[in-house]
Structure 1
């Protein structure tokens, strides 16, 4: 099974829903499993905020944001090329406020898809520890612009 938060392989962390009795199968949601304590804590923070907002017990003005890790920041940088391609198809002269719903969704889909792919690539590359005596595998997130020569559409060369 995959982690509910980051989609890595789950490693024994789960969720128990205390609203149900011990023998009730709903007490142990099968798909709410996690790879680490960090993902489990992130899920519970979000779930707790959602539950309080749903029940109306707390007026949530701001939801706590988890600081992005270096891997997540690198994955975000990789989204720039996908964003540029999607925005280039629509036209760079068109302001974001003038995008239709379909155009905005196309840009969002390009960014989210590339971010997810970058995170999966990193986790797949790092799921096995390095082997002693062998050179380390190159980090695909080290330089997200390595495949770009002068291909940045938002930069105009004189």
Structure 2
């Protein structure tokens, strides 16, 4: 069987999908989106605050289970809070865009329900 692709972009996309399907790159990590990178950055300050509260000089190997679980909670909470806030901001922006488009249509009563 011979495959033909319209572009290198399509060939690369197909190759990534097939690689995942046949398991050649089991440890492959998907690159984070800009929004995910921003959420990671948003988690840095709460992480730093937590580490400072339990002692910056303590090596991670000296953290107890309770400390590690709290550290994970702090990071995940900050990450998720940023993602939720960003999704809500985008939803407001998209709603305004679609309401404006709808209001420009002939015979429109304006606004989304």
Q: Which runs of 5+ in 2 are unaligned?
A: 1-16, 98-113
Write out aligned runs for 1:77-88 (5 A): 77-88=41-52
Q: Residues of 1 paired with 2:86 and 2:42: CA distance?
A: 12
The higher relative CO (CA closer than 8 Å, separation ≥ 6) is in 2
Structure number with higher helix proportion = 2
Runs of at least 5 residues in structure 1 that lack an aligned partner in the other structure: 1-44, 50-57, 133-158
TM-score when scaled to structure 2?
0.59
Counterpart in the other structure of 1:73: 37
Larger radius of gyration: 2
2:77 aligned to which of 97, 104, 113: 113
- For normalisation by structure 1, the TM-score amounts to 0.43
What CA distance in whole angstroms lies between the structure 1 residues aligned with 2:72 and 2:62?
A: 15
> Any residues of structure 2 matched to 1:84-95 within 5 Å, and which?
84-95=48-59
Counterparts of 1:113-152 in structure 2, within 5 Å, are 113-128=77-92, 129=94, 131=96
- Take 1:86 and 1:69, find their aligned partners in 2: how far apart are those partners? 26
RMSD, matched Cα: 2.5
Alignment of 1:1-158 (within 5 A): 62-128=26-92, 129=94, 131=96
SS in structure 1 at match of 2:88: helix
